[in-house]
Amino acid sequence: MAKCSICTYRKGKRYCKISETVICSLCCGESRKKETCMGCHYYREPKPEKKYKDFPMFSLQRMEADIDLQRYANAIESTFCAFDQSENQRLSDPTVLSILELLLDKYHFKQNDAATDDNLVNKGFTLVLRTIKEDLAELPEDSITRLIGTIYFVAKRRSKGSREYLDFIHRLVGIKIASGLRVLPNL
């Protein structure tokens, strides 16, 4: 088998219409352009990459100083706690982070069809959306986006991949039992 005509290092396994030679899959992927490669069966439209690190959020100092923002954040986080309780505490921080990413898809990236293949994540997403409609109705959408971004930042920072964030909010926020009502654990 011939060597790649671009890097001359790996085996060339793909015929390239542009160079009219065989190239390796790595060079194919790195040199691929929409204008020149559109008809090739190896060409895939790049998916827009969502950067969950680059989103608007409230500063932690503002959250600490604003009782209303804390109340709104507590509504969302207590919904996570109630959802976790309803699932016999089998949720994990990555599940909560996935729900928050779907919320960022909806509010920040304006993706109206935000959903995933994970039924547990979709169920949690629906519960938090209901809380947002009930408890955060008077909040402007850009503030909801910033609030979700702040919660995402805190959850990401607290989590080590297990239940660190969830355990923290169970102790601090408690379980939502109705709009504006939470039950705190006995400490």
pLDDT digits (tens, 9 = 90+) for 30-51: 888 888 888 888 888 766 667 7
Q: Which 8-state DSSP code applies to residue 8?
A: S
How far apart CA 106 and CA 113 sit, in angstroms, is 8
Domain that holds residue 29: 1-46
Q: Are residues 74 and 110 in the same domain?
A: yes
Closest CA to 10 of 21, 24, 20: 24
Q: What is the distance between the alpha carbons of residues 81 and 72, in angstroms, rounded to a whole number?
A: 15
Q: What is the DSSP letter of 65?
A: H
Least confident piece of the model among 57-71, 109-123, 140-154, 173-187: 173-187
Q: Residue 145: how many CB atoms within 10 A of its CB?
A: 21
Residue 17 falls within a domain, yes or no? yes
Q: Which residues contact 8 (CB under 8 A, 6 or more apart)?
A: none
Same domain, 76 and 14: no
Q: Sign (positive/negative) of CA torsion 34, 38, 42, 44?
A: positive
Q: Please, where are the H alpha helices in 89-173? A: 93-107, 119-135, 141-158, 164-172
Cα 25 to Cα 42: distance, rounded to the nearest angstrom: 9
27 and 70: one domain? no
Please give the pLDDT value at position 140.
Answer: 96
Residue 172 is encoded by which pair of tokens? 């601090």
Please indicate, yes or no, whether residues 39 and 64 belong to a single structural domain of this protein.
Answer: no
Same domain, yes or no, for 41 and 85? no
Query: What confidence score (pLDDT) does residue 49 get?
Result: 66
In percent, how much of the chain has pLDDT > 70?
96
pLDDT of 72-131, one tens digit each? Answer: 999 999 999 999 999 999 999 999 999 999 999 999 988 888 788 899 999 999 999 999
Domain count, the chain: 2
Mean model confidence pLDDT for the chain: 90
Residue appearing with tokens 């109340």 = 71
Residues 27 and 81 both lie in one domain: no
Nearest one of 50, 92, 70 to 150, comparing CA atoms? 70
Whether residue 159 has pLDDT greater than 90:
yes
52 pLDDT more than 80: no
Higher pLDDT, 70 or 34: 70
In this predicted structure, what is the pLDDT of residue 112?
83
State the pLDDT at residue 47. 64
Band (pLDDT 50/70/90 cuts) for residue 55 is confident
